[in-house]
Structure 1
Amino acid sequence: MRKRIILMILILVFSVPQSILADENSSVHTWKSLNNTSDQILQLVKQQEFEEAKQLLDYFSASFLEVDFQKEGVTMSALRTVTSSFESAVEAVTAMDMSLDRRIYKVTAFRLAVDALSSDYHPLWLHTEESIMNALSRMKETVEESEIQAFQHRFNEFLRHYEMIRPALFIDIEPQQLQRIDSQINYLESIRSGHVDEDKVLSHLTIMESEWSNLYKRVKEDNADPSLWWVMFSIGGMITLSLSYVGWKKYKAEKQKVRQKD
């Protein structure tokens, strides 16, 4: 009897309709393939193999258009963002006079956008935390040392990083939060022109540091792997049911002993 109950528990916990499982596996395979293709494109650009990268971009386009976006729950805004970053990537591999760094930035933006669309948790753009936070920290250092020209250079460097990850942010975070980040950057651009008020710039950079730190922290927490919780819940439920059954059997045996004594 005990083995039968445990077997039923296992069946209830782990059984999934085969049609649903097949659809999920097909969907996962499609997004994984698209993600891998975008990564291969980026590697080719870094190696300055632009013709091969263009061929893979054409392949990506054909594969991407086969996705049922409505079924996959892809919003129109996310679709437009990936399409725009794709067009920038095409420009990067076909332009005649673009610097290699600029090409890599554009194709990396495309790579991060595809990953943000296809990843259920921990998107690649989270790995930019160190570079973004360091860029903000270096800007503060230049202002504190009254090196305004160096500050302008560091700020332009930060803007290049932000331009690279913004498509992924547009897909992954709430519009209000992205709007707040854009407003903070636009304000910093406005106060850096002309005479730079060092105290005002430092105060605003501190606000930006806090905003970005909270952003990375919140997204990491929100994008934790849900499969871990599912496994913990499943195993915990099985153990609870098994212990309950054992406890019930023990209670029944004790009760039987009392009856025999009576």
Structure 2
Amino acid sequence: MSVLNFFSLKGKTALITGGTRGIGFALASALGQAGAAIVVTGTNAEGMDTALASYAANGIAAQGYLFSVTDEDAAQKAVASIERNVGPIDILVNNAGILKRLAMLDMPASEFRRMVDVNCTGAFIMAKAVLPGMMERRRGKIINICSMMSELGRETASAYAAAKGGLKMLTRNIASEYGQYNIQCNGIGPGYIETDLTAPLRVEGNPFNEALLARTPAGRWGKPEDLAGAGVFLASSASDFVNGQILYVDGGILAYFGKLP
């Protein structure tokens, strides 16, 4: 058997939260190209329609569900509907997330809780919804989209870093608790990626842009497509003995101390 067969997702069903744009769209597209049936979630009807049309234009017959990952009842109902109408969920990608930068002393506790709720608790809710089926079938892949902020601190990122740090440990605990059922839970830690949200930072002459390029050994921003290989690997049987790990796709930032004078 060719080693490439280990990366095939034919016959698999993948659920990607926040799959209507950016990183989620790129990961869903990659899994679809590898052969998986694709289901994406979102919270905006217009954005969902646009995304589904884009998937179709690329030859991927994706299906969409509108609900918030923080709504446990809605998540349970959506998973039941997907497994009934599309197929057993073999792959869950917890990508849905939000970002708001505020100095810690300026951030209301309610906003901190919201950041943790969407970025970490939402992944817990979605994993809880798919795990019973995966346990019964004795197979499954859960991929949590973590962040460099799972490892690093930064000004104005207290809530986001707390949530993503929590998501890293949730990843390891799911692996520890459910690995016995042949379920692998791993994370992808993107570096700074070219998305709509980062567009204002990528303007030439922006001090942040200049500092980031100097801090990144690759010398560039990442593209959503740079995450495709990591996504297919962690979703496929090629990673069946990989569990509880975070794969950082960051152009080398975490490995680099920085240029010294």
Bigger radius of gyration, 1 or 2?
Answer: 1
Give the helix-richer structure, 1 or 2: 1
- TM bucket normalised to smaller: under 0.3
Give the strand-richer structure, 1 or 2: 2
In the superposition, the TM-score normalised over structure 1's length comes to 0.26
In the superposition, the TM-score normalised over structure 2's length comes to 0.26
